[in-house]
């Protein structure tokens, strides 16, 4: 794959974090949320720049169902982090509802709110249908217009809606003075071109897609049109990361997430995330080898020095402005249910190694 030139200002020393709020087999939802708050405080402590949460629905191993609500909880528990969505799946929601949610967050935590917008449903077809209250459209065909509407609604001046011969003012919040920062998320060239055309910052889901990242980032830069929000292209790439004192331990800690990915990709029933020892006692079948090979190519797994080198190499190859990490380290038996020590250690070790 041809390598893109490194972008001026590439910064991987200030970590950013994506959290799916995983739920282990030994956790309740309350435990998983407590572990996420502990991880967010560690991210704040080590000087992370952003802490984003995903939106997934009806998944036994993921508690991140409502990004704006989680953003408010995390912002209240931290002091410096920018909190954001990675992302809000806009086809599931009214742009006005999302605008109201994030405008209130921005009013409460000015200068700390990011809004990552995605086009995927983040769930199975039945759940997505219910989220859209039975509407036949999947929302994808109106996505471009919905992004434009949301973008306008979060501005302090809002929009003016024509109703017959009259003009009706519509504001997400009455007296906004600052604006949350919008980002467009994607794992395809479609979102890259849309972000470029709209002059919005762009995030590529390298942790999910694994391939096509370089092409998407180059296409975004090639099609970028300056906007009121952004004069030059701005990118983040997201990578799955596992760091431990030794590479062998880091690889062991990824086993529960690898098994979750195998279930997801092979159409098997999903379940809460296994503990490391349980995953080791039930090795994956030979049919999983291609998946394992793909993951080994795109995930960053190792001891602190090698992981930091991989982070710098990925950022340099893509020329991305920032790199966001999704800690995919699991837990051993006996781990406190309300903590994720291996995920916390991943952030601490990587942050130290990148300094």
The per-residue pLDDT for 247 is 97
Nearest to 12 by CA among 303, 201, 224, 238: 238
What pLDDT is recorded for position 121? Answer: 73
pTM above 0.85, yes or no: yes
Exposure letters 297-322 (e unless 16+ CB within 10 A, then b): ebbbbbbbeebbebbbebbbbbbbbb
> For residues 259-287, b (16+ Cβ closer than 10 Å) or e, as one string?
bbbbbeeeeeeeebbbbbebbeeeebeee
Which position has the higher pLDDT, 126 or 46? Answer: 46
- Alpha-carbon gap, residue 150 to 96, rounded angstroms: 7
Q: What angle do CA 291, 293, 299 make, to 5 degrees?
A: 95
| Residue 242 pLDDT exceeds 80 | yes
Give residue 11's pLDDT band: very low, low, confident or very high (50, 70, 90). low
Structure confidence at residue 127 (pLDDT): 82
**Of 135, 76, 66, nearest in space to 105 by CA:** 76
**Stretch 32-46: mean pLDDT:** 98
Least reliable range by pLDDT among 95-109, 176-190, 197-211, 329-343: 197-211
Tokens matching residue 343: 């995920």
Share of residues in the chain with pLDDT > 90 (%): 73
With tokens 């020590």, the residue in question is 341
Q: How confident is the model at residue 209 (pLDDT cuts 50, 70, 90)?
A: low
Please provide the CATH number assigned to the domain covering 11-354: 3.20.20.30
Question: Residues near 355 by Cβ (< 8 Å), separated by ≥ 6?
Answer: 13
Tell me if 198 sits within 8 A of 132, measured CB to CB.
Answer: no
Kindly report which listed range (4-18, 53-67, 295-309, 340-354) carries the lowest average pLDDT score. Answer: 4-18
Closest of 13, 20, 59 to residue 36, by C-alpha = 20
Ordered by start, the domain boundaries in the chain are 11-354
């Amino acid at each position: 794959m041809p390598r893109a030139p490194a972008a001026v200002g590439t910064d991987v020393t200030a970590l950013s974090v994506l959290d799916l709020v995983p739920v282990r087999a030994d956790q309740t939802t309350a435990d998983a949320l407590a572990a996420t708050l502990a991880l967010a405080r560690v991210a704040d402590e080590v000087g992370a720049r952003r802490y984003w949460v995903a939106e997934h629905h009806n998944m036994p191993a993921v508690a991140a169902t409502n990004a704006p609500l989680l953003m408010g909880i995390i912002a209240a528990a931290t002091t410096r982090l920018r909190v954001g969505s990675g992302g809000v799946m806009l086809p599931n929601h009214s742009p006005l509802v999302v605008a109201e949610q994030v405008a209130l967050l921005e009013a409460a935590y000015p200068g700390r709110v990011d809004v990552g917008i995605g086009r995927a449903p983040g769930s199975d077809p039945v759940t997505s249908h219910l989220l859209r209250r039975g509407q036949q459209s999947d929302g994808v065909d109106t996505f471009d217009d919905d992004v434009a509407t949301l973008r306008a609604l979060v501005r302090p001046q809002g929009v003016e809606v024509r109703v017959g011969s009259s003009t009706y003012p519509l504001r997400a919040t009455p007296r906004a003075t600052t604006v949350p920062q919008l980002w467009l998320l994607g794992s395809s060239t479609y979102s890259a071109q849309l972000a470029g055309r709209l002059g919005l910052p762009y995030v590529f889901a390298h942790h999910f897609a694994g391939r096509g990242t370089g092409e998407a980032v180059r296409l975004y830069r090639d099609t970028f049109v300056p906007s009121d929000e952004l004069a030059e292209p701005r990118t983040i790439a997201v990578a799955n990361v596992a760091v431990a004192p030794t590479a062998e331990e880091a690889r062991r800690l990824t086993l529960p997430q690898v098994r979750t990915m195998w279930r997801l990709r092979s159409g098997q029933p999903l379940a809460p995330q296994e503990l490391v020892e349980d995953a080791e006692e039930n090795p994956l079948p030979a049919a999983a080898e291609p998946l394992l090979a793909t993951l080994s190519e795109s995930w960053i797994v190792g001891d602190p020095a090698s992981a930091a080198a991989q982070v710098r190499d990925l950022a340099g190859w893509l020329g991305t402005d920032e790199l966001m990490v999704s800690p995919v380290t699991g837990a051993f038996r006996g781990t406190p249910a309300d903590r994720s020590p291996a995920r916390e250690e991943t952030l601490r070790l990587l942050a130290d190694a990148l300094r």
